[in-house]
Chain A
Amino acid sequence: MTSPSLKALVIGLVIRTPLIPLLVLASFVPGFWSVGNLRTLAESVSIDGIVVIGMTIVMIAGGFDLAVGSVLAMGGVAAIVLLPYGLLASIVGSAVFGGLAGLLSGGFVTRLRINPFIATLAVMVIVRGATLAYTDTRPVVGLDDTFLALGGGYPLPYAFIAMIIIALLGHVLLSWRAWGRHVYAVGADERAAAMSGLAVSPIKLQCYGLSGLLAGLAGFLLAARLGTGSPIVGDATPLTAAAAALIGGASLRGGQGSIPGAMAGLLFVGSLVNLMNLLGMPSYYQRMVIGTMLIALVVIDGVLLRLRQR
């Protein structure tokens, strides 16, 4: 069972993404391979990485989750607001709030049969509006030493370690457990999955719930790193997450993808952004690059579909 996943990772790294050429190129940029920068890279990919895991699972199940960015912001605010009740309340609270938002998306998709893009777009706006309203559009600040310590970690940031652990758990869940098989089956052909006796709606609901939960948790870690919970962060998060998942072999039509692949995709996107930062390019260029990349990826996704149909 290890070999296919290892293969997915290697394929993700070498074939699907020009990651190796990118890293070679990066060697010419002074400071890329420094310990400090690698730690920055690990830190910057870890928050998005936790979101990517949820997004990948939803995409394998044939859905999409545009709400992850605003759920991330809500998770961060919840983490700070709940901090006075203890660190555990803060962690559990941000995850639970995120999970509830995910279940709301999942409910729209499964119970009301709404197109997942539109359903999660609506949830995205609802969650964003609620978070902005609750905070009166201002960031909330939390100063607790243990909490702030969780946002650090040396040499490896705790958030990065958390991402690795969650990725492993997610991979085990997808590849080694029956549940994962069911997720792939639902994503590949919902009707066939239903006819072979799978409880399609609960499975999809669980995927969306998981995605929301992970986004909320990522919000907690971001808040711990920054010491603030900002209601406006995360507008690019769904795009970055989708790009990483697509590079990693996921498809907008479901049934495909893997967490190792998505992690490789994430590493590619993260390195690219990191390089642009090192080269002193303003953040709007990153938006241009991510936008272009996403268009290219969905075009490739469409072309791959046609090749498979023929």
Chain B
Amino acid sequence: MSTSVKRRRLLGRFISPIWMVLIAVVIIAAFISDRFLSPYNMVTVLQQGVVTGIVALGMTVVLIGGQFDLSTGAIVMMAAVMALVIGPSDPASIALAIILPLMSGAFIGAVNGLVVYKARANSIVATIGMQFFLFGAVLAGVSGQHVRTDNMAAGFSGLANAKLFGIPLPVYLFVVLVVVLSVVMDRTVFGRHVYGIGGDEEASRRAGIRVVWTGTLTFVLSGMLAALSGIFIASLVGNVDPSAIGGYAFPALTAVVLGGTSLSGGMGRPSDTAAAILVIAVINNVMTILNYQYPIQLLVQGVVLAGAVAFYSLRRVELAP
């Protein structure tokens, strides 16, 4: 009995239920539409998944620490607008169009982190407030206009569009990010402390963990990843309607929760979020193929979020001693 428990635990270490769900969803999708498995469509699924996925990875780390970052949608938008306003036309401005949004994302994250961990503000309301502030600020900055750049250098548009073996570069970067973050969360002191804070903030403080520093870093990470996602969007499409691209926080949060990260913190894995991101991308893709438009996709996402939260909370109640 002990060995079977152990085996199950070992298995659970590498394969969580969400990967099974992903496999099931892909099989169902393949049955629903033969277009789904076409190489072109698979690339589309990955491309769409990755942009939200990078955001979701950052939010996963923040939520493992027990907090929410709902300002990420606005950070994505801010970064995309910044990159296009800078207008990456030569190597120097390309570097600027990457570094400046990343630094701004880190700065916003630091403000979020200090507001939440130092001033002890409720993270959901505070980051929604930040989301509003950023939207307003960026819209004011560009007077509510579309932003486009006409002479984007190939180097910059290649960031998101260039392909290696037929797969866009961001997909590789996403895989690298998942691996790196998994190692960081599982094998470094920082990661261990984030789990500690999420499990019991006061116990962690008394155990000598620098809660404010570690917690703020999770928000900085989330801000930078959201900014990275924004840079990819800028590179992908070359023009942005600032009032239309704010909706990344919600699907990302849905993925984080669907991947099994506990809403009260302390539990969750970046790799599971990645699987959940793909589940959502597949579902959205199939709905698009079947001609169900954005409203229905939104509705389904809301149901998926509610269902996932309900599933995990009921399961935890059962597991509790």
In the complex they form, whether A and B have CB atoms below 8 Å apart is answered with: yes
Would B129 and A295 count as touching, CB distance under 8 A?
A: yes
Q: Are A117 and B313 in contact (CB under 8 A)?
A: no
In chain B, what residue has the closest Cβ to A281?
A: B140
Asked if A295 and B115 sit within 8 Å, CB to CB, the answer is yes
Q: Does A298 lie within 8 Å of B129, measured CB to CB?
A: yes
Give the Cβ gap from A256 to chain B, nearest Cβ, in Å: 14
Q: Which residues of A contact B122 (CB under 8 A)?
A: 252, 298, 301-302
A305–B119 Cα distance when bound, in Å, is: 11
Are A288 and B302 closer than 8 Å at their CB atoms? no
Bound form: Cα–Cα A23–B200 in Å:
46
Stretch in contact with the other chain, from A78-86, A121-129, A139-147: A121-129
A292 is an interface residue with CB less than 8 A from chain B:
yes
Q: Is the CB of B313 within 8 A of A295?
A: no
Known interface pairs A113-B313, A129-B300, A282-B140. Does A291 touch B133 (Cβ–Cβ under 8 Å)?
yes
Secondary structure type dominating chain A contacts: helix
Partner pick for A108 among B128, B134, B253, B306, CB 8 A cutoff: B306
- Kindly state the separation between the CA atoms of A51 and B179 in the bound complex, as whole angstroms: 46
Selected from A126, A284, A302, the residue in CB contact (under 8 A) with B119 is A302
Q: A117-B124, A291-B136 known; A126 and B302 CB under 8 Å?
A: yes
Residues of chain B lying within 8 A (CB to CB) of residue A132: 294-295, 298
Nearest-neighbour CB distance to chain A for B115, whole angstroms, equals: 6
Contacts of A291 in B (CB 8 A): 129-136
Which residues of chain A are near B206, meaning CB under 8 Å? none
Can you name the residue of chain A whose Cβ is closest to the Cβ of B142?
A284
> Are the C-beta atoms of A118 and B257 separated by less than 8 Å?
yes
For the complex formed, measure the closest distance between the CB of B141 and the CB atoms of chain A, giving whole angstroms. 9
Q: In the complex, A282→B137 CA distance in Å?
A: 11
Q: Chain B residue with minimal CB distance to A105?
A: B306
Chain B residue numbers with a CB within 8 Å of A121 are 250, 253, 305
B1 touches A (CB below 8 Å): no
Contacting residues, chain A, for B264 (C-beta < 8 A): 115
B310: chain A residues at CB < 8 Å are 108, 112, 114
| Residues of B113-161 contacting chain A, CB below 8 A | 115, 119-122, 124-126, 128-137, 139-140, 143-144
Interface members, chain B 264-287 (any A CB < 8 Å): 264
- Complex Cα spacing A289 to B133, Å: 7
Given contacts A282-B140, A295-B126, A302-B119, contact A129 B298 (CB under 8 A): yes
Partner of B133, one of A112, A288, A299, A306: A288
Assuming the contacts A123-B306, A126-B302, asked whether A295 and B130 have C-beta atoms less than 8 A apart, the reply is yes
- Is B263 a contact partner of A118 (Cβ separation < 8 A)? yes
Given A119-B306, A282-B140, A284-B140; A298-B125 close (CB under 8 Å)? yes
Interface pair A129/B125, CB less than 8 Å apart: no
Q: Is the CB of B144 within 8 A of A284?
A: yes
Q: Does B303 contact A (CB under 8 A)?
A: yes
Residues from chain A with a CB closer than 8 A to the CB of B303 are 122, 126
User: What are the interface flags for B243-274 relative to A under an 8 Å C-beta threshold, 1 for contact and 0 otherwise?
Assistant: 00000001001000100000110000000000
Interface residues, chain B, with chain A CB atoms under 8 Å away: 68, 115, 119-122, 124-126, 128-137, 139-140, 143-144, 250, 253, 257, 263-264, 293-303, 305-306, 309-310, 313-314, 317
Provide 22 A-B residue pairs closer than 8 Å at the C-beta atoms, listed in order of the A residue. A108-B309, A112-B313, A113-B313, A121-B250, A121-B305, A123-B302, A128-B298, A242-B125, A252-B125, A282-B139, A284-B135, A285-B140, A287-B135, A287-B136, A288-B132, A291-B129, A291-B132, A293-B129, A294-B132, A295-B130, A298-B121, A305-B120
